[in-house]
Structure 1
Amino acid sequence: MPTDTERHLASLLLHVNPERQGMVRAAIADMAGTELHIEQPGRMVVTVEGPQEGWIADRMTALHLLDGVFSAVMVFHHIDRAEAVET
């Protein structure tokens, strides 16, 4: 029976305390499906990739709750839907 598979990709803008930016960077590196792309003092652009929208929302919440993060705002969300091979 064929099934549909989804991959979700989102980009987030984080506003962070510059004094804690190193700790936030390390936490992002340890978080599965999350990658830091651009960084300036007080700002970070992060992508999150996962299997469903709820997974993306969970990662966004986890990032927002990191010590030193003032806000985590989604700026882009893409859903890639592809039919899986019959199993």
Structure 2
Amino acid sequence: MRTGRFERTEREAPPLNAALVNICGLLVHARPDRSAALSERLGATTGCEVHAATDDGRLVVVVEDTEEASALDRIRQINDWDGVAASSLVFHHFEDAKALEGEIEA
């Protein structure tokens, strides 16, 4: 349970440094019968990318801050979607935006 103190602190926090990219790794637990639809919806959502999905409804998702929404706001939205049982933050990292500007060669 969250307390009002923490929610107030989040609202009053200064904006994040624009030179940093917020990267969150999630494990989303979905109802198996809704997994494919949720995977498509996540893939079509700005700042989200699905990296893996299992037959039993687990989705590995990366969420990043965008101009439209912060990663935290996006994670809150995902948790409210129909068919999502829960999500777990399993990775969090701030990356220098300049370091991500170049293309990655395979």
Q: Does the aligned pair in 2 maintain the 1:13–1:72 contact within 8 Å?
A: yes
1:22-65 per-position Cα deviation (integer Å, ceiling 9, x unaligned): 2211210111010000110220100012259x711111111111
* Higher normalized helix content (fraction of residues): 2
> Which residue is equivalent to 1:22?
36
Question: What fraction of aligned residue pairs are identical, expressed as a percent?
Answer: 30
Structure with higher RCO (Cα < 8 A, 6+ apart): 1
* Structure 2: segments with no counterpart, 5+ residues: 1-16, 99-106
Q: Does the aligned pair in 2 maintain the 1:7–1:51 contact within 8 Å?
A: no
Provide TM-score, normalisation by structure 2: 0.67
Q: Determine the C-alpha separation between the residues in 2 that align with 1:4 and 1:24.
A: 30
* Higher normalized strand content (fraction of residues): 1
Matched length: 80
Of the three residues 77, 87, 98, the one matched with 1:72 is 87
Moved beyond 3 Å, runs of 4+: none
* Structure 1: segments with no counterpart, 5+ residues: none
